[in-house]
Structure 1
Amino acid sequence: FVLHAPATDYERAFIVQASSGIEGLIVAAPDLASMRMLEAPLRQSFGDALVLYHSGLNQGQRSEAIKQMASGEARAVLGSLMAVYAPLPRVRLIALAHEESTLYKSQSAPHANARDVAVMRAYLEGSTVLLTSICPSVESWHNAASGKYTLLDHSKGGSRPRVRVMGMYADKGEKRKAFSEKLIASVERAASGGGRALLYVNRKGHSTLKCSECGHMDLCPTCSVPLVFHKWHKKGRTLECALCGNSSKPGETCPSCKGHSLEPTGVGLERIEEEFKAMRPVGVDTKTRDRIKLLTEDESRLAVGTRTLTRSDALSHGFQVVGVVNADSFMYQPDFRAAERAMQDLVYAADKTAPGGELIIQSNRPRHLLFSNLRSFNLKAFYKRELEERREPGFPPHTRIAVLRIEGDKRPKLDPFGFKDAEALGPVGALDKKGRKHFKLLLKASTSAILQHAVRKALAQLKGRKVDVDVDPLEL
């Protein structure tokens, strides 16, 4: 079953209700915050028969949990992605909250997706699977539309915020503003009326520095991408690469023309905080759980955060205004899933609004069809168009894909005609987060059997090289 829920509160309540009276239950959540929100209501139903099973446990706690499961003392398991492997002797229901989350995908070999493991385990054991989300993955929606899964569409319930999309234009010769006047007015109106506002930005740091005289921007020497300027970094004023973490101190003059006109471009978390500091913003570091806890208890009128904040179940739905500062920053990514991820981000941002609240989105393309679907919360039309757009280039769920990451500085030589019915793209050079060079080979096939054959052929040609194989990758 795939539940399309109207809100995350409804999603949790549905899981708890579906779990009532079940002997042999596994509930998985993508992160510890989501797991904790489910723990209290499940504990009311199962008491000490509910066992926690996640990566935060030490070896002794994990061994004790396994002992309780194997002995039959535990009737229910709640945990992270590893919960789907819980050794319960008889499983009747496996429920996955926020099934679209990329956190269910293991980053290490064999790169298993807990969602797929849950579905296969339920099939082998004759159990039921419940996948829940306020914005399901395209793959799960496709499986429901094709009859493989059963769709429970409860998305029409609950209150929805008013959605407004602001075009961010600038006259020739003028600087583009980070905030529209309407967004500023809405934030001020919410704050002055005793309400709260949330500004969502897709980048940490302050901005990137660009010389207004010659146009020079400092690039990472390893990744060749613009360095992000951090004003309040723990190392002080710092230029840092968002990919590999390389950092350096910014100079007072342009390293190219020696000019003194280094100006910030783009908008990051720090810059938003800086411009709204008069309204007592609360800075939320994307990696600091304590800051999220602080925000839930603080009376500040304005919160500033990234995706971790909007996706956190620990944060209540109490914002009269949620502003997405630059939707284009996550809509236009070099990935066939970019539109899907953008819609999910915006739906989760809308979920943080209070009843009668407002979601304001800033974009350079305010007439994009994605926004039209979002205004009416017509995700069915969005999924239909997304599936059609993926069909012609042959991307999942219409095909199966695998990415082979080949270590080393030397480009491997592969026979492009050696993959039979599969399509091979690459290999192309790439860098990992530590700056180490490798090559990526993308294989596409119409069936799992053809893909497996192509992977075996590729590995045979790459004998002697270290290769990491990721089937059904979530990121290219």
Structure 2
Amino acid sequence: MTYWLSIVVATPAHSSVAGALTYASEWPLAPGTLVRVPLGRREVLGVVWEVLPDSGDLLPAQARAVLGALDGLAPLSATWRRLVAFTASYYQRSIGEVALAALPPQLRALSTVQLARRLKRPVAAAPDTPDTTDLIALSPEQERAIAEFDADTRPALLFGATGSGKTEVYLRAAASVLAQDASAQVLVMVPEINLTPQLQARFEERFAHLGKAQVVALHSGLTPAQRLKSWLAAHAGQARLVLGTRMAIFASLPNLRLIVVDEEHDPSYKQQEGARYSARDLAVYRAMLESSTNSSSSIAAPSFSAGAAEPAPPGRRRSAPPGGSEPHEVGSVGAMSCRVLLGSATPSLESWQATVAGRYQRLTMSERIGAADLHGSLPTVRLVDMNHQPKHCTIAPPLLDAIAQRIARGEQSLIFLNRRGYAPVLACHDCGWKSECPHCSAFRVFHKMDRTLRCHHCGFTERVPRACPGCGNIDIAPLGKGTERLEEHIAELLVGVTRPDGSPLHNSVRIARIDADTTRLKGALESQLASVHAREVDVLVGTQMIAKGHDFRHITLVAAINPDGALFSSDFRAPERLFGLLMQAAGRAGRDAERGEASEMWVQTFHPQHPLFGALKKHDYPAFAAQELKEREAAGMSPFGFSALVRAEAREQAVAQGFLNAAAETAQAQQLPGAEAVTPYPAVPMTIQRVANIERAQMLVESSSRAALQRFLAAWQPLLHQTRQEGDFKGLIRWAIDVDPLAI
């Protein structure tokens, strides 16, 4: 007997084979089964999506057969498949691309025999030891937050000041879930493993009694073998707690009962290549799927996808989502068997607005652990008006004096500049030559450590020329400052500074720098952080890598050197990112309760009267959020308006823009579904319009209705394919749709 199966394989969205394919099988295979199938001349991994009643339009003689199933591996659950299908539908990608990218790379390459051998390897048994962890006493705010979380069913946003003990709330919530159900699983998501080593260490230490086999990590920093081992443990239900980055949202967890998203505002949760999904938003949606008592019933989408419909099965033409329909309340699904807990000191405005509207539950913790009140616990913010400082001054004299005083008292300081390298540009003042990248519309950054000019976009690197390539002038000089130059400059400024007893300070000043350049080697970041914690560093200089996620107990002063650029950026999200980054950086100071009252955050700015800095001085995120949301609502921007970016890459800028404009004109002429509520703007070059000799253009598409935008994008996809094939766009390389873009 022949069974007809709809199977998804990895095909890109712009491919002519973007849906599921029909295969014949000698065996009855359940949906979710992983199989090896032929695709062209290759043998690839596929996922059985559904069992078909017949071969449809495919002639039996044309059918290709399934080569074999991955025996011993349980089928992927219906909930997992619905999550993948929704992701592909909402973010306008191929379902096979999303499904296969969610699986470990090594699994996609293993044969059935190789997988069988791996599954036969013994798994270390969980130690039969009770949890003897000495739990710290909770603060009243922590106790209230846990009680409120347990009493509600909605997605929860834990709005807690830095140092207020959010991690302990995560730990208690996870421990409670694992204790209630012996098979329950917990997913803890972090923006970047390298930026949150303390969180990873605390979870591993707290749940060490479960054994290494039941506490696993899942992120791209693992070797392929380690990643496969963690995924198999999670899929089999052996791993009780999974700690991972954004890719972990697609982990196969059959008994998932809690999802924790730490630093939920972090842009790292938005994938920037391939399927540009938001792992934070999908965490909310997945919790709702897992909580459904009937997996086949209709489930309302979370706030990020209000009005979007459940996707149709792959291989079938997707019907347009219903227009104008209001999403159901999240709590109306029934008893929540899976909860989601988002946490941040500076939440994304989308999540904050969801709490204002009542869709999310808000848990507030405003006090630092060990602090008596809010104003006494958080660092004092001092604004340095650079208009009144010496011209071309990098470190204002008052700030330099404050740093010297901290060093003299044996305390640490953190200097934050979000620009690595020695200088962003190397220039000749005689002929005007600058260190432009020959392959990108950007400058190569001067790195003094290895005397190179390095493009941070395409990676092109050259040695620094001995003289100006344009005129031969040997006096070429750096313009601007990066962390490498700042480190050198601070060391120069501290020469001659004396201690209160009159002894010179520079003899014992220890300055360290942490950025992408100093942490390239494996273990370098851990080693440098250990030096800071051991108080072997007096002044720490770095980028955003050190501004968030670290528990520095002896830092009492944090300084932001040049934050003004984001105040007047063309990207409407720039102020939100700046405020969050400065608040996170400020949170690195005064985490030791004994030094909390003396901690300070210094901000050097030419615009001290800007409202953003006014809210920062008061540590008043609610006031900042209210003002930003008011402005966004007036402008129809997220979370009150909805948008997508269509990007095109070509050998020539005119080709990229021409393709986008032609596709938009065709869409308007044919009056696609939802077009009446959608506004496509003319195509423009991207901010960095040329990277690696590829020209890049983008088109912004906006709508006041997310449902209308989704209908329009779904109907526009075939026209984009058609425009590329029929138009004179021979130099066009690729195009992609980015739904809910983070940067415009």
Same structural fold, with TM-score higher than 0.5 when normalized by the shorter chain? yes
Measure, in 1, the Cα distance between the counterparts of 2:701 and 2:609: 35
Q: Corresponding residue for 1:290?
A: 524
Q: C-alpha deviations, 1:352-395, integer Å up to 9, x for none?
A: 11223111111111111111101111100100111122223322
8 Å CA contact retained: 1:317, 1:351: no
**Do residues 311 (structure 1) and 548 (structure 2) align?**
yes
For residues 257-278 of structure 1, give each alpha carbon's deviation from its aligned partner in whole angstroms, at most 9, with x where no partner exists: 6656544332211111111225
Specify the SS of the correspondent of 1:92.
strand
Q: Relative to structure 1, is the Cα distance of residues 53 and 257 closer, same or farther in structure 2, using a 3 angstrom cutoff? A: closer
The partner residue of 1:245 within 450, 459, 463 is 459
Please tell me the root mean square deviation across aligned C-alpha atoms, in Å: 2.6
CA distance in structure 2 between the aligned counterparts of 1:458 and 1:189, rounded to whole angstroms? 62
Q: Please, which of 426, 432, 443 is the counterpart of residue 209 of structure 1?
A: 426
Stretches of structure 1 that go unaligned for 5 or more consecutive residues are none
The secondary structure found in structure 1 opposite 2:448 is strand
Matched, 1:163 2:381: yes
How far apart, CA to CA, are the structure 1 residues paired with 2:412 and 2:625?
Answer: 32
**Distance across 1 between alignment mates of 2:395 and 2:281:** 41
Q: Which runs of 5+ in 2 are unaligned?
A: 1-155, 179-183, 292-337, 370-376, 492-505, 591-595, 670-674, 725-731
C-alpha separation in 2, matches of 1:254 and 1:63: 51
| Distance verdict in 2 for CA 1:211–1:438, change over 3 Å | closer
Stretch moving more, 388-397 or 260-269: 260-269
Map of 1:28-427 to 2, 5 A cutoff?
A: 28-33=189-194, 34=196, 36-44=200-208, 46-48=210-212, 49-126=214-291, 127-158=338-369, 159-169=377-387, 175-207=391-423, 208-212=425-429, 217-233=434-450, 237-251=451-465, 262-277=476-491, 278=506, 279-286=509-516, 288=519, 290-291=524-525, 293-298=527-532, 299-313=536-550, 316-354=552-590, 355=596, 356-408=598-650, 409=652, 410=655, 411-412=658-659, 413-416=662-665, 417-418=668-669, 419-427=675-683
3-state SS, counterpart of residue 342 of structure 2:
strand
Contact 2:157–2:343 under 8 Å retained in 1: yes
- 2-11 or 373-382, which moves further after superposition? 2-11
The 8 Å contact of residues 323 and 361 in structure 1, kept in 2 or not, is answered as: yes
1:441 matched to which residue of 2?
699
Is 2:717 the counterpart of 1:459? yes
Q: Counterpart of 1:427 in structure 2: which amino acid?
A: A
Would the alpha carbon gap of residues 346 and 253 (structure 1) be closer, same or farther in structure 2, given more than 3 Å must change?
Answer: same
Q: Is the 8 A contact 2:385 2:607 kept in 1?
A: yes
Q: Is the 8 A contact 1:134 1:155 kept in 2?
A: no
Give the conservation status (yes or no) of the 8 Å contact 2:160–2:364.
Answer: yes
* Structure-1 separation of matches of 2:516 and 2:549: 10
Deviations 1:394-448 (A, max 9, x none): 2211112111122223131244445432111232234465342232121111222
Cα pair distance change 1:71/1:217, threshold 3 Å: closer
> What is the aligned length?
470
Give, in angstroms, the shift of residue 227 of structure 1: 3.4
Alpha-carbon distance in structure 1 between the residues aligned to 2:567 and 2:691: 22
Alignment deviations for residues 136-169 of structure 1 (CA, whole Å, 9 cap, x no partner): 1111111111111011121244520111011112
Q: Deviations over 1:193-244 (max 9, x none)?
A: 11111111111112233445566544334433343222113xxx23333333
- Residue 359 of structure 1 aligns to a residue in which SS? strand
- Note if 1:13 corresponds to 2:168: yes
Q: Whose relative contact order is higher, 1 or 2, with alpha carbons under 8 Å and at least 6 apart?
A: 1
Instruction: Quote how far apart the aligned CAs of 1:52 are.
Output: 2.9
1:292: Cα distance to partner?
5.1
TM-score (structure 2 length as normaliser): 0.59
Native 8 Å contact 1:212 1:262 kept in 2: yes
SS in 2 for 1:21: helix
After TM superposition, give the deviation of residue 114 of structure 1 in Å: 1.1
3-state DSSP of counterpart to 1:69: helix
Q: Which has the larger radius of gyration?
A: 2
The AA in structure 1 aligned to 2:403 is V
State the identity as a percent.
30
